[in-house]
A and B are shown apart, each in its own frame.
Chain A
């Protein structure tokens, strides 16, 4: 089913996937200081899994990241985001007012809130991108390289 002759692609992908995931985490957690944030990190994270799926096949990817896990994660991201808002409400502040998390030092609270919210965004975006890829990938008829 999967072509076994793309030797260079397979070796390079194995090297790159780890670096892409690491870069995704960097973008996720360094978004306060440099360009990037949850959306970009989520897409990068998904790209790591998609490139793995393209080269090694969907089955191998789904062994690492089964579809049901991805579906739950995409919902979890939205829950984390809105949960942050609900949490701040429970502390007696308006919805999504991150000052609630550190009343003595509001800007620290902001950092906590932004971190939580961005984590939610990243999780949802990554999971949805992988879900969409799985949706398309699961229906691929196999096409040989020459047919494109």
Chain B
């Protein structure tokens, strides 16, 4: 009962934050509210007992990406440009996408359904055997680092690649070349 109340409250706050974000023109406030949005999502994950995910969401979504978004608006603009185009087509696109997503959830198993495919595929095996095979109390860690070690290695590589991408675009390592002293006629005479 109390959990339902908590969930409803959190979802209402999520929706309120989203509406507030869509109405704002000051990007600083938008970034801060998107941090709030992430934090509320993290709380929802806690309510779902997915503490590991909540942890990540709070640290990455509410923490680091807020800082990075602030960095971005410091580099670009701090207010929204007033739109001159009619908003009907974007509105239709949003509604159609939303309707498609809701239609997509129709086929999903009910929340907490013990017979859902996710619950009956490999999960019972992990729960039964991880104590004996890996002996790590946190099954999430056991799955992440051991059973699904290849996936996690791929994820690490993806994070690394993302870092290289940002480095290539933003760090200004390329500027070093342009700063090289000019040669030829400009060279000071000895």
Contact = CB atoms under 8 A, between A and B. Distances in A.
Interface of A: 27, 31-40, 43-44, 46-47, 50, 54, 67, 71, 74-75, 77-78, 81-82, 85, 95-96, 98, 106-107, 110-111, 113-114, 117-118, 120-121, 124-125, 127-129, 131-141, 143, 147-148
B75 A141 contact: yes
Interface of B: 28, 51-52, 54-56, 59-60, 63-64, 67-68, 71-72, 74-75, 78, 132-138, 140-142, 144-146, 149-150, 152-153, 155-157, 159-160, 162-163, 166-167, 169-172
Contact of A148 (B56, B78, B150): B78
Contacts of B74: 140-141, 143
B56 A113 contact: no
A43 B56 contact: yes
B144 to A, nearest CB: 6
Given A129-B64, A148-B28, A136 B146 contact: no
Contacts of A54: 67
Nearest to A132: B166
B90 to A, nearest CB: 27
Contacts of A135: 166-167, 169-171
A113 B132 CA distance: 16
A contact face: mostly helix, strand, loop, or mixed: helix
B28 A136 contact: no
Q: Which 8 A-B pairs have the closest CB atoms?
A: A128-B163, A136-B71, A135-B170, A107-B135, A35-B51, A43-B59, A96-B149, A114-B145
Given A43-B60, A113-B145, A124 B160 contact: yes
Given A40-B52, A131-B166, A139-B170, 7 more contacts: A33-B137, A35-B55, A40-B55, A96-B150, A98-B146, A107-B134, A128-B160
B41 to A, nearest CB: 15
